[in-house]
Chain A
Amino acid sequence: MTNRIERELPLPGSLAEVWQALTDPDWLAQWLADEVAMELRPGGEARFRIGAEVRTGWVEEVSPPPRDGREGRGGRLAFWWALDDEPASRVELALTPIEPGSTLLRVVESRPLEVLDLVGIPLPGPGGSTHGPALAAVA
């Protein structure tokens, strides 16, 4: 069984505004973690401090919404994070425009690599930017 949770929430704000809330460190510190440092490129390193706990990980995908606001096109950010020696989980944040000033956010957090654990392949440790993109490609 793959561990997976999914949430959908309409948010007030244009696609560009909500995208900023998902990618700007100052915005991210308002809701995702107390402190967020993310290199916004595939394979970039990521660090999240939540209280006394620090998660490390890497960025898998950064697809900003189109600037010209083409009909129906959204944005997507995907990263992996892990706490200490726990298995890494993948977080995907996808945006879809609903109407002007309203944007749908879909969140999926999953542990797709646990399937590797089941067949006896060790799971990656956190912060493995050397392993990150390669493993992201496997998943």
Chain B
Amino acid sequence: MPGDQAGPVFSALADPTRRQLLTAIAAQPATATELATGLPISRQAVVKHLGALFDAGLLERERSGRDVRYRVTPAPLSDAVSWMAQVGGQWDARLAALARTLNR
């Protein structure tokens, strides 16, 4: 990956919600509305996070009727960055489940 692209990519991925969104979109391209239904945050918040991921060059936009569908851009994601996004997102989900289990 060219060095000048690493900065925005890493700062976009520093946020756990954005990693979670990226992981979900990597599994299946989705609209902000679809993504918001699976998350405890508003559609507006999802749109804001998607904007940050788009600005970092991690997502592509595609018009889908009245909505915009997002898909992952393969280009600026080196293997290392996509590994970190995927594995980091998985641990965020596992640790949330562990905390819930211990709280019971």
Contact = CB atoms under 8 A, between A and B. Distances in A.
B28 to A, nearest CB: 15
Contacts of B102: 11-13, 17-18, 21
Interface of B: 79-80, 83-84, 87-88, 91-92, 94-95, 97-103
Looking at chain B's contact residues, the main secondary structure is helix
28 contacts: A4-B84, A5-B84, A5-B87, A7-B88, A7-B91, A7-B95, A9-B95, A9-B98, A9-B99, A11-B98, A11-B99, A12-B103, A13-B102, A17-B102, A21-B101, A27-B101, A30-B97, A30-B101, A31-B94, A31-B95, A31-B98, A32-B98, A105-B95, A105-B98, A107-B91, A109-B87, A109-B91, A111-B83
Given A11-B102, A27-B101, A89 B87 contact: yes
A1 B88 CA distance: 16
A3 interface: yes
Interface size bucket, A side?
20 to 34
Given A31-B94, A105-B95, A107-B91, A3 B101 contact: no
Given A31-B94, A109-B87, A109-B91, A1 B80 contact: yes
A5 B97 contact: no
B95 A5 contact: no
Contacts of B99: 9, 11-12
Interface string A106-126: 010101000000000000000
